[in-house]
Each structure stands twice: as structure tokens, then as C-alpha cells.
Structure 1
Amino acid sequence: MAGVLQNISIPRAGFIRVEPRGQFIGQPQSNWSFEIQEGHKLKSIKIDHGDRIIHSLQFTTEFGGALSISDNFGSLVAGQNVSLVTLEADEEIVGIKVSIGIKGRDTYLSSLSFVTNKTTHGPFGGTTDPMFSLPWDKGSLVGFYGIASDWVRGIGGLGVYLKAHGEVLSIGPWGSPYDPQTRWSFLLEGNQRLSTITIFRTGDAINRLVFNTSEKVDGRSGVSVADLVVLDADEEIIGLSGMVDTLPTRHIIISSITFTTNKKVHGPFGNAKGSPFSVSWDIGSFAGFYGFQSLYFDGIGVYLKATN
């Protein structure tokens, strides 16, 4: 499709691709990709949008006092509104929030927000759909990518390029730390692989998770249900989704969780109430989970590693 992006840049080794959901099924579409060059700073983002859809994005970076403006990524159709996000000198993006719209069998971005270390810019577009959040470590953002279609007149499948500062990158967490709490961590080491996940539930609330034979998460007593996920030898987790709910006590918990692999979907486990979260990543990137635990299962995040 002319005018979107003809030459897709290939991310350098060490980049990790993660994304919320979104796709076009059987419709004409184009892939687009924007990479922030080393030493450059993202200065602004132009969002062309309507009341219920994100049509296109354009990025401006700065290097040595000179500005560089990217192509216009997305649909050729102009929206009713053009919004500009301008980042301060010490401001950087540490997450996005998106709403997903549906047209037939296709999904697309109906709303988009950029979360920085200072504030949240947006939402731009419609706000009535549930918003999926994707947070990451400060200093990790390397660029954005996605797909676009003039059939739905907008962008779908927005994702981000991230880099790890050490061996792994922390994505999330979803949920909320609660005081007093326990931070837990399950990190694969060497040739270790994830073979089983046991999900313990008290009624509809998730109580704790156990990975392989490791008791990394302790929960309250009275567990009544245990669900077991057994992964095949060639099966690997490539996505995580679930629900974040607020109890009458204002305690924020993970109420439902689903694990997606290269072979199938395991779940959902728990009670599908609250606000959804969803993220996927390249096969070979998964390195473990981490999160927070108090009387309930309060939060969960993902460790990822570069595959190239």
C-alpha cells in the first residue's frame, strides 16, 4: 500500500519485540516499523485519529540539535483530529495503553495512550472499549511497529521494540503491589525450561502459582482448586493475558490468567472480572515470571530475553 512504509527496517540484535493484540484477517495490509536510532531522542508523536479509531502515527526524533521526522505510518485516510504528544527533555515513554476495536473479524486500535515517567498522554480515539496496558522498564524503548489497513482505515497490532539493560527485560507488572507484600521471582537459568504451571485458586480468586517444582509464591490457606498446565517438550509460552480486579476492600488483584503457547491456549483460570491485560512476544524470548503476593495474588510480570 503506497504511502505507508516501503522499506521495513530490521531491528538490531538484542531487540525484543512485544505487543498487545490486533490483527487483520484476509484484508489488504502493510507492515510498518520505526526504530529510534542510537543517540537519538524521541521528541514528539503525531496521532491522526477519529473518535473511535487510530488512523496513523508519525514520530519526530532529535540528534545534535537537528530534528528528523519519520514517514506517516498507518492508513491513507485522514482522521477528524490530529493530536501531538511533545516529550520534555527528561521525559521518556515507559508504557502504552490501547483499546481494541472490532470490524467483522478484524481488530484494530480504537484508542491509544502513551505513559511516560512523568504523566499519561491520551487517550486518543475512543475510550469506551477496555484498555490493555503494556508497561516496561525505563530506558528500554527502541521503537514501534505494527500493521495498517485502509480497509478498516487504521492501525492494528501495534507493538514495541525494547532492549534489556542486563540479561533480561522486565515487562509489567500488571496488578498492584500491596503492603505488606512479598515480591516473588521465577527465572529460567541455563538450559532450564518451563514444564508445568500449577494455578491454585480460592473460589474465583487466584491464590498462588507454582512453576515446575519451585514454591516461589506463598498464599493464604484454604485453597480449594488447583489447575495444572503441562507443556510439551517443544511447547513454549509466547503470551500472557488476564484480568485485574478491585475487591470491595480496594485490594487490587489478578483475578484471571491465561497462558498462550506456540501450540495452544491454556486458560482462562480464575474469574474473568475487571480490566483486561494482554501481551505477546517472539518465540524464544520467554525467560520467566515475577510478581507480588500478599493475602492474594496481587501482580504478575514477565522476564524476556533477546533471541538474536
Structure 2
Amino acid sequence: MEGVLQNMKPAQVIRVATWGQPVEGTQNNWSFEMEEGHKLQSIRIGHADEVITSLTFTTEFNGVLSVSNKFGSSSGAQSISLVTFDSDEEIIGIKVTVGLKGRESYLSSLTFQTNKNTHGPFGDISNSMFSLPWNKGSFVGFYGNASDWIGGIGGIGVYLKVYGEIMRIGTWGKPLPAFPQTIWSFQLEGNYRLSKITIDHGDVINSLMFNSSEKVDDRNGLSVIDHVTLDEDEEITGISGMAGTLPTGQTIISSISFSTNKKTHGPFGNVKGTPFSVSWDAGSFAGFYGLHGRYFDSIGVYLKATN
């Protein structure tokens, strides 16, 4: 594996998420990004009163430990939890719960998923939980903002590195892998842009069609056809929706919304189930992929580095 990576282009970093209070325009932004060759050794989590109050990260390089600043609040009563990672353990996903006080959102719980274990949840699971999975070896760090008024972490996002051209984020709904014939993929090529999305939906998302691509999945029963037409200066910067379960136990996508640099289109379908949400920097979108069977089972995102 190391030899393969050495022959690839240098990794570039992209920002994915955030959940909670947006980081743009705030004076309390924080950022933790690991240096090349460093490994995440532990995370110290402060939590109290339904709020993740603080985060501190420790990395290791050639046997030497480095401790980051404490991000968030140091005041007030709080519980402290410590997650220590094994030498062969890597974070491959996080789960968060977002709360709301007045106009400010904040992290009320946080869970770290690795290739070996699930650590958490830490804090209070007060609402539906969002999740973000990624490929092993992609994690570089976290970023977000902190709120003095709330007294803790207002929002969190993830730095991920891209080897080569494209990386995959997701899926939401039915997990990969599956039989190859059930996997669908729409990927932009060259300078092409996404200009139109056609959504066939009822109580579930029946099918999606991008630009003039083939329809993904079959039409099932009574449905509504909606079209999202993007302006020439409009591009997708995020998706959100619900993953539901049919009476048969099959996991499907029940609703979906598309966020752009100008507005949010949707929701389309039945807003019922387990929520998912992910955003990315403008210019990073490269396509979608997922699974389909009798229904539209899952969706993930292709992203590319912009720097």
C-alpha cells in the first residue's frame, strides 16, 4: 500500500461538513490539522449541560507527543472523557447531535468511529444524530467554531485528504459494498457542470437523473416528478435528507435536499427517518454514487480537491 501511495500525486486537503454553527464570519474559529507523518494519539472531550464544551488533541511523531490548544470553553462544571487510540487505529467517521439555544446551534454529543471501535457518544443525544463516514487513511483533522455564549463547541467539520483526483464520502442509506450490478455512479468529467437534477419521488425517492444521464432506479407506483435547474453561477455545496426503513426492513432514501451557493432545493420525498447532512467547499463537487434495487437505496458524494 505504501508503494502505491508513493506513486500517486501528493495528497490535497478538503473541508467537509460542518455541523452546528457555521464558521464563516465568526471570530471564534478553531482548527486542528495534523502535520505529515503525525498520528492522532488521543482526544480529550469536555462535556456538560447538553454541550460539548471543549476538545483537545494529542498527536505522536517518532515517540514524541504534541498537545494542541484546548478548543472551546475552560469555564464551568464539566465532565472530562479521554479517548486513546491504538497504534493501528484510525478515525473513519464521526456522529454528532446538534442542539439549539436561541439563534445559535451547538454540539450536544459527539461519537468517534474507528476501524476498530466506536468511542462515545459523549454528551447528550438530545436530537437526531448525523453521521459522516470516510475512507481509512483520509483523516487529517477537525475544524469549527466555539461560542462564548453557549460555553462550548458551536460547530465541527473535518479535514480529509484526497490522493489523486477523487474521494468518496458516504454512503447514506444502505451501506456499501453490494453486488456490483446494484451500484450506480454519476461523475462529472472535464469542465462539465451539474445543471439539472430530476427527482421522481413519493413516500420514498424512486429515482434521480443528473443532466441527461440515465435514470437511477425504477419508478414505483404513484409519484411526483420535480426538476432542479441550477443557474450558470450556481453549484451544489451540500446535501441533506432522511434514510428510512420500509415495512420489509429495507433501508432506503426517503427524502433529499440539495444545497447550493445560492439556495436550498427541497426537501423532496417523505421527511421521515434518520437524518443525514453533509456540506463541502464550493468547487469540490464531482458527482454522486450509491446503490439501487427496487427503490433508491443509498447515496454518496464524489469530492475533489480545489487547491
TM-score, normalisation: structure 1: 0.91
Cα distance change of structure 1 residues 217 and 122 upon mapping to structure 2, 3 Å threshold: same
Which of 83, 105, 123 is equivalent to 1:85?
83
Which of 32, 35, 47 is equivalent to 1:34?
32
Q: Is contact 2:18-2:158 (8 Å) kept?
A: no
1:180-259 equivalences in 2 (<5 Å)? 182-201=182-201, 203-215=202-214, 217-222=216-221, 224-259=223-258
Deviates most, 212-221 or 227-236: 212-221
Query: How far 1:129 sits from its partner (Å)?
Result: 1.1
User: Is 1:298 the counterpart of 2:297 in the alignment?
Assistant: yes
Cα distance change of structure 1 residues 38 and 28 upon mapping to structure 2, 3 Å threshold: closer
2:299 and 2:143 map into 1 onto residues whose CA distance is 25
Q: Is contact 2:99-2:107 (8 Å) kept?
A: yes
Q: Is contact 1:185-1:216 (8 Å) kept?
A: no
1:72-221 equivalences in 2 (<5 Å)? 72-177=70-175, 182-201=182-201, 203-215=202-214, 217-221=216-220
Counterpart residue identity of residue 70, structure 2: N
2:36 and 2:25 map into 1 onto residues whose CA distance is 35
Runs of 4+ residues over 4 Å off in structure 1: 24-29, 178-181
2:251 and 2:204 map into 1 onto residues whose CA distance is 11
Identity of aligned residues (%): 66
Query: How far 1:128 sits from its partner (Å)?
Result: 2.6
1:290 and 1:28 map into 2 onto residues whose CA distance is 34
Deviates most, 172-181 or 96-105: 172-181
1:25 and 1:239 map into 2 onto residues whose CA distance is 15
2:25 and 2:47 map into 1 onto residues whose CA distance is 21
Counterpart residue identity of residue 60, structure 1: T
Q: Is contact 1:177-1:299 (8 Å) kept?
A: yes
Gaps of 5+ in 1: 1-11
Counterpart residue identity of residue 302, structure 2: Y
Query: How far 1:26 sits from its partner (Å)?
Result: 12
1:241 and 1:196 map into 2 onto residues whose CA distance is 17
2:237 and 2:284 map into 1 onto residues whose CA distance is 8
RMSD: 2.0
Per-residue deviation, residues 207-242 of structure 1 (Å, max 9, x unmatched): 111000001513244352111000011100001100
1:48 and 1:177 map into 2 onto residues whose CA distance is 32
Per-residue deviation, residues 148-204 of structure 1 (Å, max 9, x unmatched): 012101112200111112311111111114866611111111001001000112x31
- Size of the alignment, in residue pairs? 296
Aligned residue in 2 for 1:262: 261
Per-residue deviation, residues 89-129 of structure 1 (Å, max 9, x unmatched): 11100111100010001100001001111121101000131
